[in-house]
Chains A and B, each alone.
Chain A
Amino acid sequence: GAVVSQHPSRVICKSGTSVKIECRSLDFQATTMFWYRQFPKQSLMLMATSNEGSKATYEQGVEKDKFLINHASLTLSTLTVTSAHPEDSSFYICSAGTGGSDYGYTFGSGTRLTVV
């Protein structure tokens, strides 16, 4: 089946630095990728939708200049958290779809970001 790889699984960074998270579709081409954030004991909140070769669409309330998304190829999307602050500490999860009816079908394993 479809596999999505996400790295790193855990990262600790200092406040003010930037962190890049990668999401790769290993055995299929992902025309669309989604980035979610999940705070403890809360559900997944969609941050943005990216389509290969075009700009990401951000959900209301998500700062596009803070959360930079690049989807330069059909197998790779990256999320960069810029100038991270402790309140950005969260679980970030990507998912990838082929553009059909199974949007957001396959999830990556998630990245636990801790900003100290």
Chain B
Amino acid sequence: GQNIDQPTEMTATEGAIVQINCTYQTSGFNGLFWYQQHAGEAPTFLSYNVLDGLEEKGRFSSFLSRSKGYSYLLLKELQMKDSASYLCAVNDYKLSFGAGTTVTVRA
């Protein structure tokens, strides 16, 4: 089966940096997605990693190590609007999601 783990909650202050880790053990792998989801809304795409290494996109960066079954999402210069749930999802020709990490940004 699919096993995708990420921390349940994280709290940080405005302007800080937060790193959300995701470890996975899946039967197949065709890339890893990170999504942001605000309460009551659908997820929005943040990043997609299929090769090892770091992908940087503005304030958000994502890293992947396939040999370690590990990824992280890095959020820099945190803003209040970044308070949301962040979902790690492994692509195995369908998406399997982790439980999500709720990030709370405090002033």
Contacts of B97 in A (CB 8 A): 43-45
State whether A104 touches B94 (Cβ < 8 A).
Answer: yes
With both beta carbons as reference points, the residue of chain A lying nearest to B102 in the complex is identified as A41
State whether B93 touches A107 (Cβ < 8 A).
Answer: no
Q: State A45–B95 Cα separation when bound (angstroms).
A: 9
A89 interface residue per 8 A CB criterion:
no
With both beta carbons as reference points, the residue of chain B lying nearest to A60 in the complex is identified as B1
A29 interface residue per 8 A CB criterion:
no
State whether B96 touches A46 (Cβ < 8 A).
Answer: yes
State whether B95 touches A46 (Cβ < 8 A).
Answer: yes
Say which size band chain A's interface belongs to.
20 to 34
Q: State A105–B100 Cα separation when bound (angstroms).
A: 17
Q: Which of A70-78, A80-88, A108-116 contacts B (4 or more CB under 8 A)?
A: A108-116
A101 interface residue per 8 A CB criterion:
yes
Contacts of B33 in A (CB 8 A): 104-105
State whether A104 touches B41 (Cβ < 8 A).
Answer: no
State whether A43 touches B98 (Cβ < 8 A).
Answer: yes
Contacts of A108 in B (CB 8 A): 42
Contacts of A46 in B (CB 8 A): 94-96
Contacts of B40 in A (CB 8 A): 91, 110, 112
Contacts of B98 in A (CB 8 A): 43
State whether A42 touches B50 (Cβ < 8 A).
Answer: no
Shortest distance in angstroms between A38's beta carbon and chain B's nearest beta carbon? 9
Question: Chain B residues in contact with chain A, CB under 8 A?
Answer: 30-31, 33, 35, 40-45, 48, 50, 87, 89, 91, 93-100
Ranked nearest first, the 10 interchain pairs of A and B with the lowest CB-CB distance are: A104-B95, A110-B42, A107-B42, A43-B97, A43-B99, A44-B97, A43-B100, A109-B42, A93-B42, A107-B43
